[in-house]
Structure 1
Amino acid sequence: MSIARKFVISVSAIAGCLLAAPVAGATPTAGVEVTTLAETTVAGTHYVLRELTLQPGATTGWHYHDGPLYAVVRNGVLSHYDSSCAVDGSHGPGHTIVEPSGPGYVHIGRNQGSHPVVLDVLYMLPVGAPPSQDVPNPGCPFQ
C-alpha cells in the first residue's frame, strides 16, 4: 500500500473518531427511550414529534435545543432543572412544558420518581439541527 493511501486512511480514521466523539465533559442521556412518531419540514423548520420515556432514575443529561420545544406529560413526574441547579418545574400528567431555544437555556430533565415518565415532545428545529445539543454539567451536584 502506498504511503499516500496509508495517510488518507489514517486521516479518515482520525476524522471519523473525532466526529463520533461526544462533547468533552458532556453529560449523557441515561435511561431514556425515544420513539419518533412523525417528522416533516416546512419553510425551513424541521418538526419532529417524539415519545420520550424516562425510566425511574433516568436523566436527559444537560443540554439545550436549537429551536423551541413543546411537550405534554402523559405519565409520571418530570423534575426540570435550569443551569443554576434550581428546579424550574415539576411536571405531572397533563402538564405542558415549553422550552426556549439556544445555549442560554441549558437544562436537564430527571425522573426522580418510581414510575416511568412518558412525554409527547414536539421539536421545532432549523433544518439539519439535532434534537438537542449536549453540554457539560454547569456545576450542579447531580447529573
Structure 2
Amino acid sequence: MIIEQLSVFLENRSGRLHEVFEILGKANINVSACSMADTSEFGILRLIPSDPAGAREILKNNLFSVNVSEVISFAAPNSPGALSKALKILADANIGIEYLYGFSPGDKSFIVLRPDDAQKAVEEFQKHEMELISASDLYKF
C-alpha cells in the first residue's frame, strides 16, 4: 500500500513544468496525481507516475533533480469532517504528516499523504478499516 512518489525540483521559470510533462508523455508515462509548491526561485513538483523507476530515470537523464519518497493514499467520504476523522487516527498513533494533497471526483475524496512512518500509518489505517488505495488503483483515476 506504500506508493513511490517523485519530487522534482524545478527552477521557477516559464516552460519548466511543461518540460517535465512533455518528457513523461513522450515516454508514455502517465501521472495520476500531482502537487506543486513554489517559492520565488524554485518549485517542488510532487507526482505519482505510472512507472516511478522509468520516470525517475528519464527525468534524471534530462538533467532534472529527482528524489523518491514513500507516500500512502486513502479514500474518505467527500463530506465535512471526514478528513479530520482520518487524520485523528494518525494523530492518536503519534504519526506526523509532512504534507498531503488530494482530489474529490464525486462522493469520495482521495488523499495522498507523506507520513513520517509510512508503514505504521498503513497499519493504523488498516486497523481502523480505512480504504487504502494502492498505486495500481490510483492510476485508474
Greater fraction of residues in strand:
1
Settle same-fold status: TM greater than 0.5.
Answer: no
Greater fraction of residues in helix:
2
Rg comparison, structure with higher value: 1
Q: Given the two structures, how large is their TM-score scaled by the length of structure 2?
A: 0.27
